[in-house]
A and B are shown apart, each in its own frame.
Chain A
Amino acid sequence: MAKGVKPRVKVPKTAAAGEVITIKTLISHKMESGVRKDGDGNVIPRSIINRFVADFNGQNVIDVTLQPAISTNPYFQFDAMVPEAGEFKFTWYDDDGSVYETSKKIKIA
């Protein structure tokens, strides 16, 4: 698992039913390319986030394939319609097999 990985998500706490809200996500991640070498000349293994998924109450909202040219600390902003109260679940998949998860609840006001 890559070091210093920390998912950050910004979702409004409440929304009206059927309202379109903006969600911002950022994961601090080195996005190691796999071609760099460490001080001893050994190749640092590749560790790039290759997929990002957001689900709402089990229903898929967005599913992104990330390519190697994506920068460090990838940031996504997208809109989603909230039909009911529930929970957004965000998942990032790393090349090295790690999965980073976080979730945010949203209420209907």
Chain B
Amino acid sequence: MEFKTLLTSVAIVAFSAGVVSAQEDATLAIEGETILTSAAAPAFADNLDTVYSGWLFRKLETRALQMDDFDNPAFVFVDQGIDLFEKVDGSEGKACASCHEDVEDFAGLRPSMPRVEDGTLVTMENLVNDCRTERMGAEPWKYTGGKMTAVTALIGLQSRGMTVDVAVDGNAAPFFERGKELYYQRVGQLDMSCSNCHEDNYGTMIRADHLSQGQINGFPTYRLKNAKLNSAHARFKGCMKNIRATPFKVGGDEFKALELYLKLRISSSNIKTKSATK
């Protein structure tokens, strides 16, 4: 019912500048904790006044999933993450938990990722795999694989409700510029850029899908479509395939720069890891 009103309102304002169709009055409270779902857009996002959480673009049923940790299917995978965190692996006979005794110590890490270390952009996945290869003597996990997303989701969960706080100045500046360039770069057979959907047309329908602004603060996120956690890079890849482009390498420089740029766009909103979407 509410969804229909939503569509009507979209149709009415579709031709005016700055389409706002998300239900701004809805409140996202997870386990009693209120999460910010909209905020003023940062100055460099020229075409946006307000950034909206993807949660506002979902159906009521899907929204409800995210408001209760038991109902949220992502928590099945967070549980797997807890097991993996404590599982000894590799030649050193160590588990994540051998060094990082309490996973709650990671509170505040996710909102600050990706960050620049020694001139390279480092993501959460890089940190996990560095630990695995260097300290545990174990094989690195696949960048977007199930074990990786389970553990990054567990780490990200510790920062739920915190404000995204990624550095843009200094060493990060060139990566930010690269990310911005990629965001507005038209690619693929359909000749589309990220901005064509997520800036110019958010709130409208693209076939059966309600376009959001494409915020990535909730990733890795559970998608009902494939019933597993999806990392941000896997989603970038999916988007690029949809516009008939050749996707960049998952975990490569391009996607990492894009991740940084997108993260900055929501730098004023609250982080909300482990969302359930579509």
Contact = CB atoms under 8 A, between A and B. Distances in A.
A58 interface: no
B45 interface: no
A107 interface: no
A26 B79 contact: no
A73 B71 CA distance: 12
A73 B70 contact: no
Interface string A11-38: 0000000000000101010000000000
B73 interface: yes
Nearest to B73: A73
Interface of B: 70-71, 73, 75-76, 79-80, 227
Interface residues of A, number: 10
Contacts, number: 20
A24 B71 CA distance: 8
Interface string A35-76: 000000000000000000000000000000000000111000
A42 B70 CA distance: 36
B71 A8 contact: no
B70 A10 contact: yes
The 10 closest A-B pairs by CB, nearest first: A10-B70, A28-B76, A24-B70, A73-B76, A6-B79, A72-B227, A73-B73, A4-B80, A28-B79, A26-B76
Nearest to A6: B79
Contacts of A72: 227
Nearest to A28: B76
A8 B70 contact: yes
A61 B178 CA distance: 60
Nearest to A27: B76
A8 B79 CA distance: 10
Contacts of A10: 70
Contacts of A4: 80
